[in-house]
Structure 1
Amino acid sequence: MSLDAVLARIDADLPAATDRLMTLLRIQSISTDPAFKSECDKAADWLVADLNSIGIQAEKRATPGHPMVVGHVGDPDSDVPHLLFYGHYDVQPVDPLNLWTAPPFEPKIEDTDNGPVIRGRGASDDKGQLMTFVEACRAWKEIHGNLPCRITFFFEGEEESGSPSLVPFMEANAKELKADLALICDTSMVSRGVPSIASQLRGMLKDEFTITGPRIDLHSGHYGGPGLNPLREMARIIASFYDDETGKVTVEGFYEGVHEVPAEQLRQWQSCGFDEADYLHSVGYSMPHGETGYSTLEQQWARPTLEVNGMWGGYTGAGSKTVIPSQAHCKITCRLVGDMDPDALRGRIRKHVEDHLSTDAKVSWDQDLEGSPAPVMNIERPEFEAARGALSDEWEREAVFTGMGGSIPIAGFFKSVLDMDAMLIGFANDDDAIHSPNEKYDVKSFHKGIRSWARVLEALTKAG
Structure 2
Amino acid sequence: MSLTPVLEKIDTDLDAAMERLMTFLRIPSISTDPAYKAEVDSAADWLVADLQSIGIPAEKRPTTGHPMVTGQIGTDLPDGTPHVLFYGHYDVQPVDPLDLWDTPPFEPQIQDTPNGKVIRGRGASDDKGQLMTFVEACRAWAAVHGSLPCRITFFFEGEEESGSPSLVPFLKDHADELKADLALVCDTSMVSRGVPSISSQLRGMLKDEFTITGPTIDLHSGHYGGPGLNPLRELSKIVASFYDEETGKVAVEGFYDGVHEVPESQLRQWENCGFDEAEYLGGVGYTKAHGEKGYSALEQQWARPTLEVNGLWGGYNGAGSKTVIPSKAHCKITCRLVGDMDPATLRSNIRKHVEDRLSVDAKVTWDNDLDGARAFTMNVERPEFEKARSALSDEWEREAVFAGMGGSIPVVGYFKTILDLDSMLVGFANEDDAIHSPNEKYDVKSFHKGIRSWARILDALSSK
Partner Cα distance (1:162, 1:326) in 2: 30
Partner in structure 1 of residue 42 of structure 2: 42
Residue 62 of structure 2 corresponds to residue 62 of structure 1: yes
Note closer, same or farther for the CA distance 1:224–1:142 as it changes in structure 2 (3 Å cut): closer
- Over residues 290-345 of structure 1, what are the superposed CA-to-partner deviations in whole Å (9 max), with x where a residue is unaligned? 2121101111111011234455678889669697x887655433211121101111
Residue 374 of structure 2 corresponds to residue 389 of structure 1: no
Note closer, same or farther for the CA distance 1:150–1:243 as it changes in structure 2 (3 Å cut): same
Residue 382 of structure 2 corresponds to residue 407 of structure 1: no
CA offset at residue 85 of structure 1? 0.4
**Structure 2 matches for 1:381-460, cutoff 5 A?**
381-460=382-461
CA offset at residue 381 of structure 1? 2.1
Q: Secondary structure at the match of 1:297?
A: helix
Partner in structure 2 of residue 179 of structure 1: 180
Partner in structure 1 of residue 17 of structure 2: 17
Note closer, same or farther for the CA distance 1:86–1:210 as it changes in structure 2 (3 Å cut): closer
Partner Cα distance (1:68, 1:444) in 2: 29
Q: Secondary structure at the match of 1:154?
A: strand
Note closer, same or farther for the CA distance 1:416–1:365 as it changes in structure 2 (3 Å cut): farther
Q: Which amino acid is 1:87 matched to? A: G
CA offset at residue 364 of structure 1? 3.4
Q: Secondary structure at the match of 1:431?
A: helix
Residue 132 of structure 2 corresponds to residue 131 of structure 1: yes
CA offset at residue 229 of structure 1? 7.6
Partner in structure 2 of residue 164 of structure 1: 165
Partner Cα distance (1:32, 1:237) in 2: 30
Q: Which amino acid is 1:39 matched to? A: E
CA offset at residue 60 of structure 1? 1.7
Q: Secondary structure at the match of 1:254?
A: coil
Task: Kindly indicate whether the alpha-carbon contact (under 8 Å) linking 2:315 and 2:324 is maintained by their aligned counterparts in 1.
Answer: no
- Over residues 264-287 of structure 1, what are the superposed CA-to-partner deviations in whole Å (9 max), with x where a residue is unaligned? 432332223333223333444332
Task: Kindly indicate whether the alpha-carbon contact (under 8 Å) linking 1:201 and 1:408 is maintained by their aligned counterparts in 2.
Answer: yes
Partner in structure 1 of residue 152 of structure 2: 151
Partner in structure 1 of residue 30 of structure 2: 30
CA offset at residue 357 of structure 1? 5.8
Note closer, same or farther for the CA distance 1:311–1:172 as it changes in structure 2 (3 Å cut): same
Note closer, same or farther for the CA distance 1:93–1:288 as it changes in structure 2 (3 Å cut): closer
- Over residues 243-264 of structure 1, what are the superposed CA-to-partner deviations in whole Å (9 max), with x where a residue is unaligned? 3332223333221211222344
Task: Kindly indicate whether the alpha-carbon contact (under 8 Å) linking 2:337 and 2:374 is maintained by their aligned counterparts in 1.
Answer: yes
CA offset at residue 133 of structure 1? 0.6
Residue 271 of structure 2 corresponds to residue 270 of structure 1: yes
Task: Kindly indicate whether the alpha-carbon contact (under 8 Å) linking 1:85 and 1:152 is maintained by their aligned counterparts in 2.
Answer: yes
Q: Secondary structure at the match of 2:304?
A: coil
State the TM-score, normalizing by the size of structure 1: 0.86
Partner in structure 1 of residue 343 of structure 2: 342
Note closer, same or farther for the CA distance 1:254–1:12 as it changes in structure 2 (3 Å cut): same
Task: Kindly indicate whether the alpha-carbon contact (under 8 Å) linking 2:229 and 2:362 is maintained by their aligned counterparts in 1.
Answer: no
Note closer, same or farther for the CA distance 1:60–1:221 as it changes in structure 2 (3 Å cut): closer
Partner Cα distance (2:382, 2:287) in 1: 40
Residue 82 of structure 2 corresponds to residue 51 of structure 1: no
Partner Cα distance (2:35, 2:222) in 1: 50
Partner Cα distance (1:108, 1:62) in 2: 32
- Over residues 56-100 of structure 1, what are the superposed CA-to-partner deviations in whole Å (9 max), with x where a residue is unaligned? 221222223332211111126621221100112223344555554
Residue 74 of structure 2 corresponds to residue 74 of structure 1: yes
Q: Secondary structure at the match of 2:433?
A: coil
Partner Cα distance (1:169, 1:308) in 2: 32
Partner Cα distance (1:200, 1:270) in 2: 16
Q: Secondary structure at the match of 2:30?
A: coil
Q: Which amino acid is 1:44 matched to? A: A
Task: Kindly indicate whether the alpha-carbon contact (under 8 Å) linking 1:387 and 1:456 is maintained by their aligned counterparts in 2.
Answer: yes
CA offset at residue 159 of structure 1? 2.4
Note closer, same or farther for the CA distance 1:122–1:250 as it changes in structure 2 (3 Å cut): closer
Which residues of structure 2 form unaligned runs of 5+? none
Partner Cα distance (1:201, 1:338) in 2: 10
Partner Cα distance (2:322, 2:23) in 1: 56
Partner Cα distance (1:214, 1:89) in 2: 45
Task: Kindly indicate whether the alpha-carbon contact (under 8 Å) linking 1:313 and 1:328 is maintained by their aligned counterparts in 2.
Answer: yes
Task: Kindly indicate whether the alpha-carbon contact (under 8 Å) linking 1:209 and 1:363 is maintained by their aligned counterparts in 2.
Answer: no
Q: Which amino acid is 2:194 matched to? A: G
Partner in structure 2 of residue 121 of structure 1: 122
Q: Secondary structure at the match of 1:7?
A: helix
Q: Secondary structure at the match of 1:18?
A: helix
Note closer, same or farther for the CA distance 1:327–1:71 as it changes in structure 2 (3 Å cut): closer
Aligned-residue sequence identity (percent) comes to 74
Partner Cα distance (1:362, 1:424) in 2: 46
CA offset at residue 34 of structure 1? 4.3
CA offset at residue 120 of structure 1? 3.1
Note closer, same or farther for the CA distance 1:233–1:115 as it changes in structure 2 (3 Å cut): closer
Partner Cα distance (1:319, 1:28) in 2: 37
Q: Secondary structure at the match of 2:421?
A: coil
